[in-house]
Structure 1
């Protein structure tokens, strides 16, 4: 009888220890929404190099088709953190989503591309009025499309805008369902490969400097500040690793079959990997907010644009790298 009681006690103790360990692991889990782009490289590096685990974070990556979908998942509570360009954050602020940008991880002045069917070029001149243009709504693709059209002297209201998922755009252009697309890398490269000589990239000056940021759900950062600090430290190490060992970081992209070696050789220097919060981020958000309201992408009855400083939390980056936080956030 005593032996049975002892065995039962040992079993109960082991079960309690197992449940406690599982509970601890679950408490450290952080769901990070990530779009498949070179700009997400710091997240991929931190995952592969185990930087997250080094700082007591158990990452679960949630793949999204675009940064806009990642921010949507964040607002819906399906992710704890998300990486995206600044533009989905601008729209999220108009919707009063309780999220905050923690840091910019990457900037690029040439990540967005405007691709057209070759038959739009008539005697070397581009004809866009009345044409169907594919884009990802409420994303950097959307903003770049309008910016590009205005630069070319085309009223954005004079084209037929065709919203679709980012993953659909290359094939839609190749199949002739649209006449042009506004898209980021590596989707642009995929479209050029699919279309061959029938698809052309339209050259343009660097119209838009895209920032790629990590954002957090406010409820999560308030309840799990230690995990957020761990994520920030891991991403900081990843950014440093990319700068110190670029060939190894590039090899990771190739293993994931995200881009080609040719793309890396041609475009790598356009990416600036640096963890920071610059005043220009607020200025960009404010400019995009005015664009969104002017073009009717948000409700016109809204009283005023959001106060974007309320959607940026510099405290975590300031704690870790105070010299990388501009004065406007202090």
Structure 2
């Protein structure tokens, strides 16, 4: 048998070149696939939302229970926090993508956190914060608060309410002693008679009144302060995850319609979530406006809070420009009619 013909030098070089090109192409395809896989994993990372416990977060509870987030194709991870203040801090620290928080935290903290912005109000109430006092401290009417010790959370919307409540009732703020405490320490301090009254948000106000029983007297003043509870995000995240943010807003708009059309279902869900009696849950819902929106009342409230913060040593600091602390683009993109800001 004759030996196979030997390749010429040129043919051998060509063959090696083709083999090298094939290997290069193969590795390029492998790396390309790996890069696409990593990109898809990064894109598929869940959006994290810090949720404050309370009636203010009902649209989120409804959207989760009814599966609206999944229906919108949103992979959402909820992290519960004890207050909007804690949620806001998680956002400022980069621990979450979006947070629920009262507008005061943004109005008074925007000079330190200019990258954070409100993208939507999900609930608003003139009854969200109340003053709960002990009758045994000889408090039955507002003027009797003079000379008493009042517990509240320093620099919070509760303190903003308290300061305005005192002025509204012609009570000199200097005539009371304000005791700064964390939210979870207020009711124990009231029960222990370390303070005579507390100014705090729901549901802590209701649980404090329940704990006091017949010794409780509650002051709710709708003319003093309307709290707007909002979704707040970091601008880089809002831009990078704009499609997911749109999915989040659409899910909450669906939840808004359920709250309006099926209030009994929403009340039952809220009672179960907060472990509150049905009667208190019904009252809480009646006092909340669950429209997803951005309107001028939010701006006016934040401007007032910025001025208050400038005078108050306990507040984080005044905002430079309140309008810059609101980003209407995401909500306008989903529902232009929900945006009523005057630019």
TM-score by length of structure 1 reads: 0.86
2:234 matched to 1:234? Answer: no
Q: State the Cα distance separating 1:44 from its structure 2 match.
A: 1.2
Q: Describe the SS at the equivalent of 1:328.
A: coil
- 2:320 maps to which residue? 306
Shift in CA distance, 130/227, structure 1 to aligned 2, threshold 3 Å: same
Whether the 8 Å CA contact 1:100–1:312 is kept in 2: the answer is: yes
| Distance in 2 (alpha carbons) for counterparts of 1:234 and 1:313 | 19
Whether the 8 Å CA contact 2:127–2:220 is kept in 1: the answer is: no
Q: Describe the SS at the equivalent of 2:110.
A: helix
**1:134 aligned to 151, 156, 159, which one?**
151
CA deviation map 1:140-190 (0-9, x unaligned): 211111111112222323322222222222222112121110011211111
**2:333 aligned to 319, 326, 330, which one?**
319
**1:64 aligned to 81, 93, 105, which one?**
81
Q: State the Cα distance separating 1:81 from its structure 2 match.
A: 0.5
**For residues 82-231 of structure 1, what are the structure 2 equivalents within 5 Å?**
82-121=99-138, 126-202=143-219, 204-231=221-248
- 1:33 maps to which residue? 50
Bigger radius of gyration: 2
Whether the 8 Å CA contact 1:25–1:58 is kept in 2: the answer is: no
Note the residue ranges of structure 2 that are not aligned, 5 or more in a row: 1-29
Q: State the Cα distance separating 1:25 from its structure 2 match.
A: 8.1
Q: Describe the SS at the equivalent of 1:177.
A: coil
| Distance in 2 (alpha carbons) for counterparts of 1:124 and 1:280 | 30
Q: Describe the SS at the equivalent of 2:291.
A: strand
Shift in CA distance, 208/22, structure 1 to aligned 2, threshold 3 Å: same
| Distance in 1 (alpha carbons) for counterparts of 2:139 and 2:154 | 29
Note the residue ranges of structure 1 that are not aligned, 5 or more in a row: 1-12
Q: Using the TM superposition, name which of 121-130 and 58-67 deviates more.
A: 121-130
**1:283 aligned to 279, 297, 300, which one?**
300
How many pairs were matched up? 311
Whether the 8 Å CA contact 1:171–1:194 is kept in 2: the answer is: no
Q: State the Cα distance separating 1:79 from its structure 2 match.
A: 1.1
CA RMSD of aligned residues (A): 2.5
CA deviation map 1:73-130 (0-9, x unaligned): 1111011101121111112213234111111111111121111111333686743334
| Distance in 1 (alpha carbons) for counterparts of 2:242 and 2:222 | 42
